């Protein structure tokens, strides 16, 4: 199960979405929050995201722990990988998407995340955390590798906050081979391996060779088949 969130992680507006996600887990919720994407922003910001995640999911009744996976050394730390693997809900908060990908790619913690998914657990990513789930991620000067958990997709979070001219240029950069998925704030695109669903107050825009369409709360047809 995947949840790609446009923005708003750990804030009150996301509580209904996260309650919904927690209800889809098998067994009692065990959440691990990873502030990895903010790993270059200093101790204060890392602590801020960690504290916000713990407070948020504690209010929702989950067992939750924030793990200091902030660089390559910590991403390869066996104890942190084991703690990640013990969860059934892993949450990647925002920051720098390219740094997040490079820190996790090939690491013990990423192997642990894949094991959570293999057991039927959930991986949620907000902003940078959502971007790395596509096949490619937008960067500078161009497209960069991502984990391809959604093959054929490139993710634009904060979609309702980005100027239209920039959105069009990103669509052109993606080219004909990729579908652009634009996810608005306080909104999640949920995938359980059988279908897609929009959760939250906003919308998800699908833009590919079949056109550009915006979808609000409820089931979403298989964009990959468009």
Q: Domain limits of the chain?
A: 2-225
Q: Of all residues in the chain, what percent carry a pLDDT higher than 70?
A: 98
Q: pLDDT value at position 38?
A: 96
The DSSP output letter for 161 is G
Quickly list H helices, the chain: 15-23, 43-59, 72-75, 78-85, 97-104, 108-118, 128-131, 164-174
Tens digit of each residue's pLDDT (9 = 90 or more) over 111-131: 999 999 999 999 999 999 999
In whole angstroms, what is the distance from residue 226 CA to residue 209 CA? 8
Does residue 62 sit in helix, strand or coil?
coil
The DSSP output letter for 24 is T
Q: Report residue 6 as tokens.
A: 């446009």
Given a cut of 90, is residue 18 above it in pLDDT? yes
2-225: CATH topology: Rossmann fold (3.40.50)
* Nearest one of 221, 189, 173, 199 to 16, comparing CA atoms: 199
Q: pLDDT value at position 224?
A: 65
Cis before 141? omega within 30: yes
Given a cut of 80, is residue 165 above it in pLDDT? yes
Quickly list H helices, 119-163: 128-131
The DSSP output letter for 146 is -
């Amino acid at each position: 199960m995947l949840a790609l969130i446009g923005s708003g992680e750990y804030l009150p507006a996301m509580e209904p979405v996260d309650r919904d996600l927690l209800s889809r887990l098998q067994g009692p919720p065990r959440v691990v929050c990873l502030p990895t994407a903010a790993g270059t922003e200093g101790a204060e910001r890392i602590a801020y995201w960690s504290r916000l995640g713990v407070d948020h999911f504690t209010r929702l009744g989950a067992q939750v722990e924030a793990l200091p996976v902030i660089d390559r050394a910590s991403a390869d730390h066996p104890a942190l990988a084991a703690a990640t693997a013990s969860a059934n809900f892993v949450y990647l908060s925002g920051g720098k998407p390219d740094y997040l990908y490079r820190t996790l790619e090939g690491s013990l913690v990423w192997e642990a995340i894949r094991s959570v998914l293999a057991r039927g657990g959930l991986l949620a990513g907000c902003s940078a955390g959502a971007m790395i789930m596509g096949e490619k991620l937008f960067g500078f000067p161009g497209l960069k590798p991502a984990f391809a958990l959604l093959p054929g997709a490139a993710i634009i979070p904060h979609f309702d906050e980005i100027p239209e001219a920039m959105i069009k240029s990103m669509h052109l950069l993606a080219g004909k081979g990729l579908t652009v998925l634009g996810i608005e704030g306080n909104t999640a695109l949920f995938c359980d391996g059988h279908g897609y669903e929009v959760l939250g107050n906003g919308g998800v825009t699908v833009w590919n060779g079949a056109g550009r369409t915006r979808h609000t709360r409820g089931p979403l047809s298989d964009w990959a088949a468009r």
